[in-house]
């Protein structure tokens, strides 16, 4: 990833939101430019929108205005995205795939969206950030940019990304910091052990458990061989030692069994 270009009616929303934290740091490595669609607007009032030709409510961004802007912004390396609730859902895998493109051009629309002919002629793919409708594509673009930047080498330490939720098909394990006791709650025993192997194995069970509880859909796609070959024996050992984990593990084994049977 070398460059991100955003086209929207509120470019300031993009620049402002990208001035914090990790993403701000990323701007030193990747060039991010936010453009105002109105600069390509028509006439004295720089008109960018018009009524939909079909009966019913709704304004659309004008096809030729968006096309003229894109002609100026696209280069040979550009991968052009339109943020849309009709798009492919954004996932960790999708963010990783996009982080490997050289230049992302992101169109954030407003009103009812874009004229279909601009989508057909200029957009490589449409991406949705979830099954709900926002009033504009700026926030959606920001979500996309943030998730893509996290996947871009040189921005986060690789080991910081490795265990994160979705990265290996599971949600992340719980985190704790000092003090060891907070409001009568101690950190879990396994973290006090200092035994890295035990910590890794227990974290893995925690991941399986939370995923099973909240996102069983992810578990359906999780390769069971990973559980069986690398972790079967250690898990059995841990199960004997710890009642809570035993309960969690039994729940998980049930899911595995059901999957095998079904």
The residue from 39, 112, 172, 253 that contacts ligand SAH (CB under 6 A) is 112
147-180 exposure pattern, b = at least 16 Cβ within 10 A, e = fewer: bbbbbbeebbeeeeeeeebbeebbbbbeeeeeee
Dihedral class, residue 169 (left if φ above 0, else alpha if ψ from -120 to 50, else beta): left
Q: Which stretch binds ligand SAH (CB under 6 A): 12-20, 27-35, 104-112, 188-196?
A: 104-112
Is 128 a binding residue for ligand SAH by CB under 6 A? The answer is yes
Tell the smallest beta-carbon distance from residue 142 to ligand SAH (Å): 11
Is 132 a binding residue for ligand SAH by CB under 6 A? The answer is yes
The residue from 30, 140, 205, 238 that contacts ligand SAH (CB under 6 A) is 140
Is 225 a binding residue for ligand SAH by CB under 6 A? The answer is no
Question: C-alpha distances in angstroms, 192 versus 34, 234, 237, 260?
Answer: 48, 18, 18, 36
Q: Which stretch binds ligand SAH (CB under 6 A): 32-40, 135-143, 195-203, 220-228?
A: 135-143
The encoded tokens of residue 211 equal: 């995923």
Tell the smallest beta-carbon distance from residue 147 to ligand SAH (Å): 13
Q: Which stretch binds ligand SAH (CB under 6 A): 77-85, 97-105, 201-209, 247-255?
A: 77-85
Q: Nearest-CB residue to ligand SAH?
A: 137
Burial class (CB in 10 A: 0-12, 13-18, 19+), 127: buried
Is 81 a binding residue for ligand SAH by CB under 6 A? The answer is no
Burial class (CB in 10 A: 0-12, 13-18, 19+), 196: exposed
Q: Which stretch binds ligand SAH (CB under 6 A): 23-31, 35-43, 122-130, 207-215?
A: 122-130
Annotate 62-117 with DSSP letters as a single string.
-HHHHHHHHHHH--TTEEEEEEEEEEEEP-HHHHHHHHTSSEEEEE---TT-B-HH
Is 108 a binding residue for ligand SAH by CB under 6 A? The answer is yes
Tell the smallest beta-carbon distance from residue 129 to ligand SAH (Å): 4
Dihedral class, residue 56 (left if φ above 0, else alpha if ψ from -120 to 50, else beta): left
Residues that bind ligand SAH (CB under 6 A): 83-86, 108-110, 112-113, 128-130, 132-134, 136-137, 140
């Amino acid at each position: 990833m070398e460059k991100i270009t955003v086209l929207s009616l509120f470019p300031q929303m993009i620049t402002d939101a990208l001035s914090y934290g990790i993403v701000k740091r990323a701007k030193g490595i990747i060039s991010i430019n936010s453009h105002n669609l109105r600069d390509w607007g028509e006439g004295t009032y720089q008109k960018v929108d018009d009524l939909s030709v079909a009966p019913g409510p709704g304004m659309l961004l004008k096809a030729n205005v968006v096309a003229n802007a894109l002609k100026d912004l696209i280069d040979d390396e550009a991968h052009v995205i339109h943020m849309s609730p009709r798009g492919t859902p954004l996932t960790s895998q999708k963010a990783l795939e996009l982080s490997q493109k050289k230049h992302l051009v992101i169109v954030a629309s407003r009103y009812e969206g874009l004229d279909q002919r601009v989508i057909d002629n200029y957009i490589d793919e449409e991406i949705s950030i979830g099954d709900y409708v926002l009033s504009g594509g700026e926030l959606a673009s920001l979500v996309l940019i943030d998730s893509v930047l996290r996947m871009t080498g040189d921005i986060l330490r690789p080991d910081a990304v490795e265990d994160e939720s979705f990265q290996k098909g599971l949600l992340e394990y719980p985190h704790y910091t000092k003090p060891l006791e907070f409001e009568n709650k101690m950190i879990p025993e396994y973290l006090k052990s200092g035994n890295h192997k035990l910590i890794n194995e227990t974290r893995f069970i925690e991941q399986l458990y939370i995923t099973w509880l909240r996102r069983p859909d992810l578990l359906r796609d999780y390769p069971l061989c990973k559980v069986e070959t690398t972790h079967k024996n250690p898990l059995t050992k841990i199960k004997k030692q710890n009642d809570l984990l035993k309960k969690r593990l039994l729940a998980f084994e049930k899911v595995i069994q059901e999957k095998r049977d079904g």
